[in-house]
Amino acid sequence: MRPLLPLALLVLLAGPALAQRKRSDTIDRNRKGHIKGVVVENLSNYNARFYRPGLTIAPNFSRFFIEQSAAYFQAAQQGRGISANSIISPGFGVGFVNDIRLGNPSTPFHLRFVPGLSFMTRRVEYKSVGAGQPDTIRTQEVSTTQLELPLLLKYQSNRRRNTRFYMIGGIKPSLAVTQRQNTPAINQLTITRNDVLLEYGFGLDLFYPYFKFGPELRFSHGLRNILSPRNNEYSNSLQSLRTNTVTLYLNIE
């Protein structure tokens, strides 16, 4: 036992020093203890960064949430009128990611400001209602370029090797920079320029050697009635229009 005492003393003294050393790799073992491989922890100092810029590409699907007007119901009772049904339409957006850590490097909360442009075309399908009327369907569309300024709070889980799950939510002010009406026959619906949307969603952070990739699914619900009334049969049959959007954000930071 005496020859082992110096070795045991050396291990006890060196143990705390070795424990303070953080490795950036993890050894994978199977149930029998055999080594399957070594997982390298990419961007190991990522949490220490206070500000993290990035880019995002955002394909989306959008529709109007429609409320029919009292004038429509009165007309329908008299055997006439036009019913409205929203059609889900695809769109596309780009933006800049600005991520700020709220607190020390171990905090799970981050503030994200992601200004960008979204190109959207939302469609409303109108159908004649009433006995004796021909079954005609007419489509109206609202094509806009939206300047979006979402301010979001991100709550992230602990990192597990090179992945991390997170939830996100906040408010997104939106401004219609342009509203395209190249074809008056199908562009007789107009909307107000300003809108405010409630946003929430979830995503996954994937760490690579030189960047972080974050696919994120986010849902948006408009809080304002954005219908701009006009004196035509399309606007008169509506009481309100609100925007609903589902967006897949592909974040690169």
Summarised one tens digit per residue, pLDDT across range 169-215 is 999 999 999 988 888 888 888 899 999 999 999 999 999 999 999 99
Residue 217, token pair as written in the block: 């699914």
- Percent of the chain at pLDDT exceeding 70: 81
The predicted pLDDT at position 17 comes to 38
pTM score, two decimals?
0.79
CA 220 to chain centre: 8
Give how many domains the chain has, as a whole number: 1
Q: Would residue 187 count as lying in a domain?
A: yes
Name the 3-class secondary structure at 97. strand
The predicted pLDDT at position 35 comes to 56
Residue 174, token pair as written in the block: 């939106």
96: CATH: 2.40.160.20
In this predicted model, what pLDDT tens digit does every residue of 102-114 receive, in sequence order?
989 889 999 999 9
Q: Would residue 14 count as lying in a domain?
A: no
Name the 3-class secondary structure at 22. coil
Q: Would residue 205 count as lying in a domain?
A: yes
Q: Would residue 22 count as lying in a domain?
A: no
Q: Would residue 17 count as lying in a domain?
A: no
Round to whole Å and give the CA distance between 209 and 76: 63
Q: Would residue 32 count as lying in a domain?
A: no
Q: Would residue 12 count as lying in a domain?
A: no
Q: Provide the domain limits for residue 84.
A: 52-252
The pair phi, psi for residue 67, each rounded to 5°, is -120, 125
* pLDDT less than 50: residues of the chain: 1, 3-24
Q: Would residue 222 count as lying in a domain?
A: yes
